[in-house]
């Protein structure tokens, strides 16, 4: 009768023999292949090269491939909109002035399209996301002008993280609120932040601290960008 310790020893020995057998089979498989190919998927240019080597185990071959993959990551080029790499948008350290002027051309386009002052659009962006096109709020508002999924869909925005679509859609919604409240900027901004239903119900700026602070901040930024004292 085999003791408990002997049983464990036999089991470990069997496992080691099985591992050795698997390594030998994998080594034989790779020794019969000449893997030297380039995989191209859309704009991804990543090269994986594995030479024949019968002495390498599967783990060694996998580690080598992963190592070469990591070394080629800088060759990946994913273009955002407009014509700028995501790395440049996220990583590049700009001054506040440069960051705030980054989207001026789009803001000007939205301003002329919907007849909304560019300084007001810029003020809303400053208050909403501080010019971070990838900002996401706890309430799931997204992008430069912090559009909720329902609002984005209503305004025809397909990609909320695309600065052009987000600014155009956000400005369109802001214009809708301005028209609804006959150009009353305080009510329009309150509706942009809290929703028109709350504004209608309160018949003015809702008694919501977040909304009241938001309106004050946007007005402050609007005056600064307009150089109004």
CA distances from 186 to 138, 206, 208, 211 (A): 24, 11, 14, 10
| Closest of 144, 173, 181 to residue 156, by C-alpha | 173
CA-angle at 202, arms to 187 and 169, nearest 5°: 40
Q: Name the token pair of 223.
A: 């005056």
| Closest of 98, 75, 105 to residue 89, by C-alpha | 98
Question: Is 142 in a helix, a strand, or coil?
Answer: strand
* Residue carrying the six token digits 């960051």: 99
* Residue carrying the six token digits 């052009």: 164
* Partners of residue 12 on adjacent β-strands: none
Contacts of 40 (CB under 8 A, 6+ apart): none
* Residue carrying the six token digits 């309150």: 190
Provide the total of helices (H) and of strands (E) in the chain, helices listed first: 11, 4
- Residue 94 has what DSSP assignment? -
Q: Among all residues, which ones are annotated catalytic?
A: 128
């Amino acid at each position: 009768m085999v003791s408990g310790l002997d049983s464990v020893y036999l089991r470990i020995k069997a496992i080691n023999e099985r591992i050795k057998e698997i390594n030998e089979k994998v080594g034989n498989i790779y020794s019969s292949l000449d893997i030297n190919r380039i995989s191209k998927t859309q704009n991804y240019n990543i090269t994986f090269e594995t030479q024949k080597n019968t002495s390498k185990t599967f783990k060694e071959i996998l580690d080598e491939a992963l190592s070469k993959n990591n070394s080629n990551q800088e060759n990946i080029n994913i273009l955002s909109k407009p014509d700028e790499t995501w790395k440049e948008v996220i990583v590049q350290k700009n001054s506040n002035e440069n960051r705030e002027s980054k989207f001026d051309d789009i803001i000007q386009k939205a301003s002329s399209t919907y007849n909304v002052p560019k300084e007001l659009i810029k003020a809303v962006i400053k208050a909403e996301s501080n010019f971070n096109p990838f900002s996401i709020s706890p309430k799931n508002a997204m992008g430069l002008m912090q559009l909720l999924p329902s609002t984005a869909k209503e305004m025809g925005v397909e990609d909320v993280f695309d600065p052009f679509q987000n600014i155009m859609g956000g400005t369109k919604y802001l214009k809708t609120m301005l028209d609804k409240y006959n150009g009353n900027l305080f009510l329009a901004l309150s509706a942009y932040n809290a929703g028109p239903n709350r504004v209608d119900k309160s018949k003015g700026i809702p008694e919501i601290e977040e909304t009241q602070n938001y309106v004050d901040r946007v007005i402050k930024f609007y005056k600064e960008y307009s150089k109004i004292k």
